[in-house]
A = this chain, B = another copy of it.
Amino acid sequence: MQVRQPTPAVQTLPSPGAIKVACSNCSLRELCLPMGLSPDELARVDAVITTRRKIKRKTPLFRNGERFHALYAIRTGVFKTCVVAEDGRDQVTGFQMAGEIVGLDGIVNDHHTCDAIALEDSEVCVLPFDRIGELSREVGALQHHLHRVMSREIVREHGVMLLLGTMRAEERLAAFLLNLVQRLQARGFSQSELVLRMTRQEIGSYLGLKLETVSRTFSRFAEEGLIEVHQRHVRILEVERLRALLTPAGAA
């Protein structure tokens, strides 16, 4: 996602010349799995995380059915994950960005149960799961982080279930936009401007809506002066009114 802020928090994301491949000098360190580790613990993690993979736009990082052997930490770019039913309908289960971990679905049966597709040219760190498992037996903080990453994903999905189960179209889209800017802000981007890396169709799939409904709801938000939309470029004009959409009647 885009629109870098003048006063950024965590930065130097792209690092084009690419220095050493190591968590210890990765700008996402404090957002990613090795968050809060001591220097020597970090060194041990570095020893395990040796490979990166570049994933081209519209290309899978992994696919449903593939053997699971690693988690992936996103360095740059954005991914979507989606599950498909036997009859072909599919559901986007999430959009992941820098510092987030994908692949947790593969642990339970040693095979991935969803697709992870890059929405733009991206780069991930490969975290071989058995090595991570071994190391986390020795480094307590890492073990706890791993548990937290999985637990966080469970809690996130609870939120999505709430959204899908109880919200109307406007509320869903408002929640979606607010979640997005919040995560972007944590990465040093603007809290009011964003570039969607996904199509209306993909947003709709995530939110349990048809693409036409997403489009219409964007238009309505724009008419009401809540946001400004130019294709995938969105500027949030009135965060508070957008937030208010999520607490319709009496906020407890």
A residues contacting B by CB (< 8 A) are 83, 85-91, 93, 104-108, 113-114, 133, 136-138, 140, 143-144, 146-148, 150-155, 157-162, 164-166, 205-208, 246-252
Contacts and interface: CB of A to CB of B under 8 A. Distances in A.
Contact of A164 (B133, B137, B155, B165): B165
A151 B107 CA distance: 6
A149 B92 CA distance: 22
A165 B108 contact: no
B155 A154 contact: no
| Chain A interface, >50% SS class | helix
A144 B155 contact: no
A83 B162 contact: yes
Interface centre among A86, A154, A205 (most CB of B within 10 A): A154
A91 B136 CA distance: 34
Contacts of A208: 164-166
A248 to B, nearest CB: 6
Contacts of A137: 136-138, 140, 143
B248 A87 contact: yes
Contacts of A148: 107-108
Contacts of A159: 83
10 shortest interchain CB distances as A-B pairs: A107-B151, A164-B164, A165-B208, A108-B151, A157-B157, A150-B150, A91-B162, A137-B137, A108-B152, A87-B247
Contacts of A144: 133
Given A83-B158, A91-B165, A147-B150, 12 more contacts: A85-B247, A87-B247, A87-B248, A87-B249, A87-B252, A93-B161, A104-B151, A105-B154, A113-B158, A114-B158, A157-B160, A165-B207
Contacts of A105: 151, 154-155, 158
Contacts of A107: 147-148, 150-151
Contacts of A247: 85-87
A11 B105 CA distance: 30
Contacts of A113: 155, 158
Contacts of A138: 137
Nearest to A110: B148
Nearest to A204: B165
A143 B133 contact: yes
